Structure 1
Amino acid sequence: MSESASNGALVERLARRRTRILPVLGLFMIIQQSAYFAHGDGSRLVDQVRISAWVVTSAMILLVLTTGGFWLRSHEVRAMLDDEGTRANRAAALSLGFLCAMLTAMILFVLQRVWAFTAGEAIHLIVTAGVFSALIRFSILERRALG
């Protein structure tokens, strides 16, 4: 089997794995979000660890969404994984994520009159809404593309 055919099989396997893993990451992010609101004010060390984990998870998901991930794979494999359809799906997903983040910010702006929340809580909600919606949309589009 040629290297190109071998890479093609690897790309197919990695693309399918990506569509299975992304929703799990989204679920993990939502669970972290609920833990943030259910526990403490962030003054304890365990709260700081939980908040740091949320920041790292959000940043990693955002990096995967914007770059395609698979940084440890060869350039050829990354290029094959980042084909025109995937780039279009990523753009559509990031567009939806931006829209959800802006809508969440506007809703929070209105709700600040009746619901007391901190800037940190608002940031958590805005970032989570944007990243989570982009992640799920990208996953759905990629799964549909793979059939």
Structure 2
Amino acid sequence: MTKGNADIAERAAWGRARAATVMALVFVAAQAGSFRDELPLNRPETLHLSAWIVWAIALLFFLAWGGGLLRGARMRAVLNDETTIDHRRRAMALGFWGALGTAFAVYVLSFFDTITVREGVRLVITFAIALALLRFGTLERRALKDG
């Protein structure tokens, strides 16, 4: 790989690390005010829920492939080295544990307040994705700083 390509790959890796953190924070912040939507759903609520679904799927794709689907095979190989694969695995593991912890918290909360299935599922998915993105971004930035 030429020095120019290495610089491009490093900039892309830094961008990916920063994007993971920012996306996690924005994702959670955007969801904060949207819980407790009452049925029947009106047009703005339906649009908001649809956007949440699309955003959640896009963030899962980002976590799974690191944003490299649109890059060439050689660049993807550089961006998805063994360290990044390990970071992604560790981030997904934290997301799993975060999902279990959030599900448990929702279960406990249901004894004290009415919580719909839809609200519970959105909480679990939102926090699982956010934790995984934050962990991935943190691990990637630390590795790039040290390396």
What's the secondary structure of 1:55's corresponding residue? helix
Distance in 2 separating the partners of 1:117 and 1:64: 30
Give the distance between the partners of 2:36 and 2:25, measured in 1 at CA.
Answer: 17
Cα contact 1:42–1:48 (8 A) shared by 2:
no
Q: Which one of 127, 130, 138 corresponds to residue 128 of structure 2? A: 130
The Cα shift of 1:38 comes to 6.3
State the TM-score, normalizing by the size of structure 2: 0.91
Contact 1:58 1:128 in 2 (8 A): yes
The structure whose RCO (Cα within 8 Å, separation 6+) is larger is: 2
Over the matched positions of the two proteins, sequence identity in percent amounts to: 34
Could you tell me which amino acid in structure 1 is paired with residue 131 of structure 2? S
Mapping of residues 1-147 of structure 1, within 5 Å: 4-37=2-35, 41=39, 43-147=41-145
Unmatched segments (≥5 aa) in structure 2: none
Report the Cα distance in structure 1 between the residues aligned to 2:137 and 2:40, rounded to whole angstroms.
32
Computed over aligned residues only, the root mean square deviation of the Cα atoms, in angstroms, reads 1.5
| Aligned counterparts of 1:44 and 1:109: Cα–Cα separation in 2 | 28
Alignment check: 8 A CA contact 1:41 1:47 kept: no
Deviates more, 1:118-127 or 1:52-61: 52-61
**CA distance 1:87–1:36, shift in 2 (3 Å):** same
Judge conservation of contact 1:96–1:133 (CA < 8 Å) in 2: yes
- Counterpart of 1:125, as a letter, is L
Distance 1:31 1:53 in 2: 14
Q: Offset of 1:77 from its aligned partner?
A: 0.3
Cα distance, 1:37 vs structure 2: 1.6
TM-score (norm 1): 0.91
Say if 1:101 and 1:127, in contact at 8 Å, map to a contact too: yes
